[in-house]
Structure formats: C-alpha cells, structure tokens
Amino acid sequence: MKKIIITLALAAVAAFSANAQIGIGLGYGTKNFNDNDNNLGGLFVGASYNIPLVSGIAVAPGIDFAMYSYSGDNIKVKENYLAVPVLFNYAIEVADGFKLVPFAGPTFSYGLSSETTLSVGSVSTTGNNYGDNSNYTQFDILVGGGVALDVMDMIRVHVGYNAGLLDRNSSDNATTKASGVNFGVAYLF
C-alpha cells in the first residue's frame, strides 16, 4: 500500500512539474501604516512557483525577503520581513508572446527585525520594536492583488497592492494596519 501511495504522489508531482514555471525577481515596495505618516520604502527579492490548476487558472506560492526603511526628522526606522504569498492568477494572451496576468490572494508576513532610532541633538537611541516591552507584533496576513505582463514567457513585470488584515498593535490604545504597493521584474524559467 505504501508503494502505491508513494508512486501516486510522485506521479502527481511530475504532472504538476511538467507545466509549472519558476520565477525569480526583485522589486520595490512600500509599507504604510494607518496610524502614522512614516511610509517605509524598500527592496524585495523573491521566488515563486507557478502551478497550473484548471482552464488557465494557476496558483503561485512563493517566498520573499523585503527590507524597508524610513528616515525623517530625528527618526529612522528599518524593518525586514519574510513573506509567503499564495497568489492565484489567470493568464490572458493579448498578443503573440505577451500575456496579461491578473493575480490575487493572501500573503503571510513575518517581521524578522524592526528598529527605530531617535536622535535628539548628538544623542541617538535605537530600540527593538519587537522587544519584550513592545506592543508591535511580528505576524501579519495581507490580502491583495495586481496585474503582471509576461513577455515571451521569460520576463514578468508586475504591479500590486496589499492590505493588512491584522492589527499589528497589541495594545487597546491604537489600531495599526499595514498596506502598500509593490512593483517588480522577474525572470521566468
């Protein structure tokens, strides 16, 4: 019985892999919070694995690493995230070699680090926003969508938007939700 199950599992993986497409890319994104004006911007790199499901619909799970920062009057913020998007998409051929690919789905995000540096005169103090006495939580679930343009099944250019569903502030005093836009380029193979 084990051999039959393993054989069926390997056959399913081979069937999905025959039409699946890997993408590796980089881009620029923003992270905005509803409770302040400190809009962070930064770079992200990532990879995804586009798996066809039925009738042109596919799912593309991936993994991204993002580095955001903000620098303003007497304040600097740096944050790093690991995100797992699970985006459903549908490819529409608009011309020979060009596909329009609308996508939507959830992204599971985990803050790896977050630091704020406050400067008063020549004195600077840096604090860990995820420290023991912090109300700022590391985990978020975002939902979003966007559109991509695939060129010759080799290059993908995309623009998208994500909105956070969870309150990142664990105190009762404020609600902190993240949102942001992103755009990037990926190589498909």
Domain with residue 122: its CATH number is 2.40.160.20
Phi, psi of 92 (to 5 degrees): -120, 115
pLDDT tens-place string over residues 103-152: 999 999 999 999 999 999 889 999 999 988 888 999 999 999 999 999 99
Domain count, the chain: 1
- pLDDT classification of 47: cutoffs 50, 70, 90: very high
Specify whether the CB–CB gap between 42 and 68 falls below 8 A. yes
Instruction: Return the ∠ at Cα 68 (arms to 41 and 66), rounded to 5°.
Output: 115
pLDDT tens-place string over residues 158-186: 999 999 999 998 887 778 899 999 999 99
Rounded Cα distance, 144 and 14, in Å: 30
> Can you tell me the mean pLDDT for 74-98?
96
Owning domain of residue 68: 2-188
